[in-house]
Amino acid sequence: MKRIIILSVGTATPKIIKALSQAFEINQELLFKILYNAPAVFLDNADETLAEKAFTILTELGLEVQIQNVNEKAPLSTESLDIAIHINDPVKLSTVNKQLSEFLGCDESESLQLLLQEPCVVLGGVSMATAESLQKRVDAEVIASNPKMDLYTIEFTAESENDRLKLINLFKNQEITIPEGETKWVRNLTYEQMNQFLTRYRSQHEVKIYNQSYSRFRILLDNFDLTNTSQTNFLVSEIGMPTEVLAEIHANLPVLLDESVNYATLQEKLATYKQAGLDCSEEQIPFGKYLLTVSNITDSGKAREILSKFYKDVSLDKITDVWKAPLPLGGTLSRLLEKQLEYIGCEIEYEY
């Protein structure tokens, strides 16, 4: 007797669930769990003819499938993960939206709403195999998170430093390291510690909570030794800095090394930079909306055309050199607008 294992959703979409449900008389909800928590058993104790037929049908639908004997060890259940997407190049928003809508089997308007959220969590309670399938099918960074195993950061947003310190003091006498003088962030909280804080501070006003798996960071180069050939060679060969501008870069430190990396990549890169002898620091990129200020507007016509895609009643004339947005935009749209404006020579400043 044979067992049919679904290894991965592969190139299939949720549209196949109804057809599979009818063909094999399996509940649709159960089918969804099987497909998106693969590897999982699809059929057990099937005769060879049925197993071969099922294998052919499932493979033709785009699933990755395996046949095994029933006396072989069946796959163990996998950990349940949430999956988020980060679009590194915002110009690809439309492309990624189409790809995601096909993967989820939903309208592009629905997938777009997911993509414009921060963090952009698109699936919950699925397996790593599903995350890997999605990564192969979208032009974006796919991030898998086990919420109960991840670490968390809390940002205190009250304007008053005293108000922020009152909240930070709730962490006293706990095994949590808070740098001296820190009044805005508490990092590396476990799931349990984060929930304990929320239990004591029931209102979530003036705090923002970040799952560190989804957090984004900038990496700044704060200092390096111009006379150290090991450091300068690293900057030239690994970072791509031209040798002839190293002195100018050194005179204008700090400078940006990495524009946006996830938490895992941040740790890897900081370790690499430290090993190379570079003095670097990180800045967390807050989730939220941003007010943009546009300057160095040399072509008011093109700038107005671009801005009008994001804002109503844009007023720009030939003598306008600085334009301030009337309303804030979310992170992905802000970055998309920035790319388009930079292409025509404008400069952008963000106000969080």
How would residue 204 be classed by pLDDT, with cut points 50, 70 and 90?
Answer: low
The pTM score is 0.85
How far is it, in rounded angstroms, from Cα 235 to Cα 246?
Answer: 9
Does 14 or 202 have the greater pLDDT score? 14
Q: What is the mean pLDDT of the chain?
A: 91
Cβ of 42: how many Cβ atoms within 10 Å? Answer: 24
In the chain, the percentage of residues whose pLDDT exceeds 90 is 70
pLDDT at 21 > cutoff 80? yes
Is the distance from CB of 75 to CB of 106 less than 8 angstroms? no
pLDDT, tens only, 139-172: 999 999 999 999 999 988 888 888 888 888 888 7
Is the distance from CB of 143 to CB of 84 less than 8 angstroms? yes
96: left (phi over 0), alpha (psi -120 to 50) or beta: alpha
pLDDT at 69 > cutoff 80? yes
The DSSP-derived string for 63-109 is: -EEEEEETTSPPPPPPPPEEEEEE-SSGGGHHHHHHHHHHHHTS-HH
Least confident range from 85-89, 234-238, 318-322: namely: 318-322
pLDDT of residue 94: 96
User: Mean of the pLDDT values across residues 120-147?
Assistant: 95
Q: What stretch of H or E contains 290?
A: strand 289-295
User: Mean of the pLDDT values across residues 242-259?
Assistant: 95
How far is it, in rounded angstroms, from Cα 59 to Cα 188?
Answer: 43
pLDDT at 180 > cutoff 90? no
